[in-house]
Amino acid sequence: MEAKLTKDIEEHIALFQKLRDGYLGEVEAIGRLLWKRLEQGHKILVAGNGGSAADAQHFAAELVGRYLVERRSLPAIALTTDTSILTAVGNDYGYDQVFSRQLEGLGREGDVFIGISTSGNSENLVRAMNSAKKIGVTNVALVGKGGGRMKPLADVALVVPSDHTPRIQEGQQWIWHTWCDLIDQFHG
């Protein structure tokens, strides 16, 4: 068991070294994009499935509430939280449309949609990105495993350099926490 735990930690460290050495500019550029759109009065819409849904909710909560510093509440919506919408759309249209229907109703030109996925292949996120494009919402894909089908749909894609789901999720959480930190810094 100790060997497995050591291997997990070594994989984590190797991933974060890759992020440090090759991805800081991308992380910062997306953080600046998010801040710019928020400052212009737009909102951030974010979604994912499973653990990525939890990340979407956590990210939105940090923006609406606060991350590390006191600042005004920022407009962010996790499209994963309204069970009435999710179940109604899932029942009436299919689960593959649970995020695209919400984007059609809530998204406005200039807003940003962030799709979080370890594989980049979730059909409901692919459809959401297509809907976002139609209404002028900027697509940000936060993905792993090479980016999948979401990467080419994104205006900006940040692909965590791993094929291992736990490591991808660890990297993604650091990335969106860093976006929160950058937004706090830009606000100050």
Binding residues: 49-51, 58, 62, 91-92, 117-119, 122, 169, 177
Confidence of residue 43 (pLDDT cuts 50, 70, 90): very high
Average of pLDDT values for 158-181?
Answer: 98
Binding residues for Zn(2+): 58, 62, 169, 177
Q: What is the pTM of this model?
A: 0.96
For residue 124, with 0-12 CB atoms within 10 Å meaning exposed, 13-18 middle and 19 or more buried, which class applies? buried
For residue 114, with 0-12 CB atoms within 10 Å meaning exposed, 13-18 middle and 19 or more buried, which class applies? buried
What is residue 1's predicted lDDT score, i.e. its pLDDT?
A: 86
**Is the per-residue pLDDT at 124 higher than 90?**
yes
Domains in the chain, please, with CATH?
2-187 (3.40.50.10490)
Average of pLDDT values for 140-162?
Answer: 98
**Is the per-residue pLDDT at 188 higher than 70?**
no
Average of pLDDT values for 44-67?
Answer: 98
Tens of pLDDT along 14-37?
999 999 999 999 999 999 999 999
**Is the per-residue pLDDT at 62 higher than 80?**
yes
Question: What is the b/e burial string over 138-162, where b = at least 16 CB atoms within 10 angstroms of the residue's CB?
Answer: bbbbbbbbebbbbbebbeebbbbbb
Binding residues for substrate: 49-51, 62, 91-92, 117-119, 122, 169
In the sheet that 44-48 helps form, which strands lie side by side, from edge to edge?
76-78, 44-48, 112-117, 138-143, 156-159
Confidence of residue 46 (pLDDT cuts 50, 70, 90): very high
When the pLDDT of each residue in the chain is averaged and rounded to a whole number, the result is 97
Average of pLDDT values for 32-60?
Answer: 98
Confidence of residue 137 (pLDDT cuts 50, 70, 90): very high
Confidence of residue 187 (pLDDT cuts 50, 70, 90): confident
What is residue 131's predicted lDDT score, i.e. its pLDDT?
A: 98
